[in-house]
Structure 1
Amino acid sequence: MTLRPDPTFHATPKLAMEAPAETLAFTLMLSPDGSQPDGLAVVDVDPKSKTYGQIVHSLFMPNTGDEFHHFGWNACSSALSPLTGHAFLERRYLIIPGIRSSRIYIIDVKEPLKAKIHKIIEPEEVFAKTGYSRPHTIHCGPEGIYVSTLGGGGKDGTDGPPGMFIMDCETFEILGRYEMDRGVQDKQYDFWWNLPRNYMVSSEWGLPPQYENGIVPEDLLSNKYGHSIHFWDLRARKNVQTIDFGENHQMALEIRPAHDPAKQYGFCGVVVDTTNLEGSIWTWWRKDDGTFDAKKTVTIPPHPAAADDLPELLKGFEAVPPLVTDIDLSLDDKYLYVACWGTGEMHQYDVSDPMNPTLAGKVELGGIVADTKHPTGRDFAYGPQMVEISRDGKRVYWTNSLYSSWDDQFYPEDEGGQMVMAHVGEDGGLTLDPDFYVDFPKGYRAHQIRLEGGDCSTDSFCYPSV
């Protein structure tokens, strides 16, 4: 507990953009075969430092088989909400779930170079208190820590639908399920909200048998993965509307609302259209009558390719789908970054007009067929995947692993974990930093990134920018 709000909390996105730049990044390391414990890497991202672009501290867990995936803070700028009693929390702890083990680690990073385990929540406690499994996305809300899950109960996670639960943001005790009325929601993935407007949006991936051992081609071609987004009355914990993108729009994943809470729109990325292999971005918005609507505003076509150059999964299509696996929105709500994991591209769209995004920049790196090298001449395994943007919007970081079993299917000959960074031009455009290339220890892959002091997929703001 501090005597004043944490200086990394900001009332508005504009104030967050004006805050000091990040000097450290926290990146998850996973052992794809579970032979080694997963870990947290602390990366130096200060260009003035002698260790710029290097891992300056690593923390490994006492267990194996966790598969670290997504993680988040115990507290963020949402603590400044007038409805909370938590304005004096510190942004001090990282909440890291194991997506395979259902174990949750609470990591104290008050001294980042001495990061240590504060608490471990065993899977049995998660099961007993929530009935859910496979914890996935972490968001710090005004009254606690929200956790989405990808599995229900039972050994294979299909006993009941997955959902969300809430943890106490000081004791880290699991309080219980979020949902009072889930409506038709029967799959889960990402979620985010507009706090002053009192609504939340959630999305869908698939159930554990559909992803844990790799993508299930029959389920994909039968359109059995998630293809809807759900709107919730945040405080009533009730699903008030569901929008189905159409069953061919398979895997509606990341939810990115506008950061300025005065704006009532946001974006969702769809991995693949099974009719043509396109990836897509959808803009959703709130109408004057309080209901929601959504429209496809970006399509990204596949790249033709010879069958001999493709993994077994794609040979019959003779094309590489873009595979939109992550998106992120800058704090000024101007640029949306779209990771095309299959084709090996990071796209930058100007979304100043959210209904008419325009391509402003692109970086090619990795890719199933392209296999584009980094400016250093070094390999970049797989393709651009988890993306994170600096608060000032001038730097874009990304890693390369999607999910261990999916990596192996789409990139059967690749191996390794890398993290890179691109600079954003004054009027848009992306340029890879030739001096920033992080190669993670042998046997590890890299997934989500969190930036010191908060970033563009972490913080929720309670007040409009001026």
Structure 2
Amino acid sequence: MACCAPAANGSQPNGASEQHTEVVARGPGYATPLDAFNSGEVEKLLYVVAVYTGTAIKKPDYLATIDVDPASPTYSQIIHRAPVPFVGDELHHTGWNACSSCHNLPGVQRKYLVAAGVLSSRIYAFDVLTDPRAPTVAKIVEPEEIQRFGLAFPHTSHCLATGDVMISFMGDVEGNSKGSGFLLLDSNFKPKGRWEATDKDSPPFGYDFWYQPRHNVLISSSWGAPKAFTKGFNPAHVGEGLYGQELYVYDWTHRTLKQKLDLGGTGLIPLEIRFLHEPNRSEGYVASALSSTLVRFFKKEDDTWDTQVAVTVPPKTVEGWALPHMPGLITDYVISLDDKYVYFSNWLHGDIRQYDISDTANPKLVGQVFVGGSIAKGGPVKVVGEEQPTVPTVKGHTLRGGPQMIQLSLDGSRLYVTNSLFSSWDNQFYPDLVSGGSHILKINVDKEKGGLTIDPDFFVDFGTEPEGPALAHEVRYPGGDCTSDIWT
């Protein structure tokens, strides 16, 4: 688990130097992002949600534990499965009951991994502290407890510095986006009510969010109406207004919606949103999937917020695909804890990219590797006028689907990659992924000069699971990671 005392290097928030040697009891996580980067534990386990919902297998989804300790005899293997008690949840994103935002709360533990069932509106809390190698379902928030607040289709969960848990929702029970909003759970996972101050402060669309109290702000993003995206992707739904293109800026203290940032055609379907880790920095990025752009958001001198496109992945002109132009479809990204690099995945094109963000407004491409996708050489799709990438085999396995969720090690040296987006989208774009199952890859990172290479000795195959092929989604480490911990 993460260190609960000040880091060995003695660094303090905001650059203050340590004045004494007294060890002060702390809550979970690390005092600063650089403490985690320089002194964080090397991951030995991964927790990954695995999904049967939307496949031909009528079994419950589960949380898989994977051994990633190279010295272990079970390295690169699934060592435990913790199934939930119901069928049809579609477990998706996960978060913690407590993270580095609670570092100043003595006695608080990072004990529970919180998993949202998108289709069921059920919330699970897995106990990962009692036996980190064999988590168990410890608490369940039933959909009736949630839907009485007018919310359904949960997505992102973040722990707050108070010890509460906050979860974003993407619609109402009928699948309309107008039911989007945020729910607070107390430390025992009892629903406390909506976070936003009034109904007028609920966002038109829901998806991901990030908060930063030092700037009195929460910013959320917008996928689409659940009645649209749960059925797969229909391009006509974009024009019908069933998908989002805005960011929503909230006053953190008053919980009021104070600004909408319309990203327009260069920001269609903005998904994962994150601030830079250093809490004094008032900027970050959102990955807009359909436009295949990484959009920077930032605070201006008048205390309002603005955006600019920082990276654009041009679409490919193709033959043998559903449309004549194929977007990269940026579906996930991560910022290194030292705020030096951004990594993102192009689920359709099949590549993972590394950008130096020393100049946050002008990221520089320094690493790229193809690990699947729809434009690989030898596949059914032809890219007009371009040489197509060759995708290698790993440990004798042909790679299925495209890179989707990514997670970076605390020290920035290793990137873990899964390939399932959402079961209905997987069925539509990569049916062989659904029938064959997901896999997890490890990408070795050159964090000095930049560069990405596939680790040839690491391959976790969800196609050979005891109950049949499963779809693997988001990755977490027992001690927290780059996409869950917030510093306040």
TM-score, length basis structure 1: 0.91
Task: Kindly state the Cα deviation for residue 438 of structure 1 after the two structures are TM-superposed.
Answer: 0.5
Using a 3 Å threshold, how does the CA distance of structure 1 residues 16 and 410 change in structure 2: closer, same or farther?
Answer: same
User: Counterpart in 1 of 2:438?
Assistant: 417
Question: What are the Cα deviations for residues 308-335 of structure 1, in whole angstroms up to 9, with x where unaligned?
Answer: xx2xxx2x31x33101111111101111
* Alignment equivalent of 1:284, drawn from 297, 300, 307: 297
CA separation of 1:222/1:126 partners in 2, compared to 1, >3 Å: closer, same or farther? closer
Give the match's secondary structure for 1:219.
Answer: helix
Q: Percent identity?
A: 39
Where in structure 2 are there 5+ consecutive unaligned residues? Answer: 5-23, 380-390
- Partner Cα separation in structure 2 for residue 78 and residue 230 of structure 1: 22
Query: Contact between 1:320 and 1:368, CA under 8 Å: does it hold in 2?
Result: no
Task: Give the C-alpha shift of residue 52 in structure 1.
Answer: 1.3
1:247 Cα offset (Å):
4.4
AA aligned opposite 2:295: W
Alignment of 1:201-212 (within 5 A): 201-212=219-230
Which residue identity lines up with residue 461 of structure 1 in the other structure?
A: W
Q: CA deviation at 1:87?
A: 3.6
1:409 aligns to what SS in structure 2? helix
Write the distance in 1 (CA, Å) between the matches of 2:155 and 2:487.
22
Work out which of the residue numbers 256, 267, 270 in structure 1 matches 2:285.
Answer: 267
**Correspondence for 2:478:** 452
Counterpart pick for 1:439 among 458, 461, 477: 461
AA partner of residue 301 (structure 1): P
Q: After superposing the two structures, state which structure 1 stretch, 248-257 or 328-337, moved more.
A: 248-257
By how many angstroms is 1:50 displaced?
Answer: 1.6
- The amino acid of 2:127's aligned partner reads D
Asked if structure 2 preserves the Cα contact closer than 8 Å seen for 1:204 and 1:227, the reply is: yes
Q: Does 1:175 align with 2:192?
A: yes
Shift of 1:413: 3.6
Query: Within 1, Cα distance between the matches of 2:211 and 2:348?
Result: 29
- The answer to whether the Cα contact below 8 Å between 2:404 and 2:417 also exists between their aligned partners in 1 is yes
Aligned equivalents of 2:177, 2:431: Cα separation in 1: 32
Report matched runs for 1:122-133 at 5 Å.
122-128=142-148, 130-133=149-152
- Written as runs of structure 1 = structure 2, the 5 A alignment for 1:169-248 is 169=187, 171-181=188-198, 182-183=200-201, 185-222=203-240, 224-247=242-265
Query: In structure 2, what is the Cα distance between the partners aligned to 1:175 and 1:196?
Result: 24
Question: CA contact under 8 A between 1:424 and 1:430: conserved in structure 2?
Answer: yes
Contact 2:355–2:364 under 8 Å retained in 1: yes
Cα distance in 1 for residues equivalent to 2:396 and 2:264:
42
Q: Is 1:407 equivalent to 2:426 in the alignment?
A: yes
Asked if 2 retains the 8 angstrom alpha-carbon contact of 1:71 and 1:96, the reply is yes
Q: What amino acid is the match of 1:254?
A: E
Q: CA deviation at 1:208?
A: 1.0
- Letter in structure 1 aligned against 2:319: A
Following superposition, the deviation at residue 378 of structure 1 comes to 1.1
- Indicate whether 1:22 and 2:43 are aligned: yes
Distance across 1 between alignment mates of 2:254 and 2:402: 40
2:127 pairs, out of 105, 108, 112, with 108
1:112 is paired with a residue whose SS is coil
State the Cα deviation string for residues 383-407 of structure 1 (Å, max 9, x = none).
0001111111111111000000011
Matched, 1:360 2:383: no
Query: Which residue of the other structure, out of 340, 343, 352, is the alignment partner of 1:337?
Result: 343
Following the alignment from structure 1 to structure 2, what is the Cα–Cα distance between the partners of residues 247 and 147?
28
Gaps of 5+ in 1: 274-278
Contact 2:401 2:432 in 1 (8 A): no
* Greater RCO structure (CA 8 Å; 6+ sep): 1
1:320–1:369: 8 Å Cα contact kept in structure 2? no
Deviations 1:23-78 (A, max 9, x none): 11100000033611000001111122221111111111111000011011110010
Q: Is the 8 A contact 1:223 1:248 kept in 2?
A: no
**Are 2:180 and 2:202, in contact at CA under 8 Å, matched by a contact in 1?**
no
TM-score, reference length from structure 2? 0.87
Q: Could you tell me whether the CA contact under 8 Å between 2:126 and 2:137 is conserved in 1? A: yes
Q: C-alpha distance in 2, partners of 1:347/1:254? A: 16
Q: 1:49 to 1:122 in 2, by over 3 A?
A: same
Following the alignment from structure 2 to structure 1, what is the Cα–Cα distance between the partners of residues 449 and 478?
26
* Paired amino acid for 2:308: K
**Alignment CA distance shift 1:245-1:46 (3 Å):** same
Could you tell me whether the CA contact under 8 Å between 2:410 and 2:481 is conserved in 1?
A: yes
Code of the residue aligned with 2:314 in structure 1: it is P
> Is 1:334–1:351's contact at 8 Å kept on the other side of the alignment?
yes
Greater mean deviation of Cα atoms: 422-431 or 61-70: 422-431
1:159 deviates by: 8.0
Kindly indicate whether the alpha-carbon contact (under 8 Å) linking 2:196 and 2:202 is maintained by their aligned counterparts in 1.
Answer: no
Q: Is 1:385 aligned to 2:385, yes or no?
A: no
Query: Of 289, 314, 326, which aligns to 1:301?
Result: 314
Distance 1:159 1:460, change over 3 A: closer
Offset, 1:377: 3.5
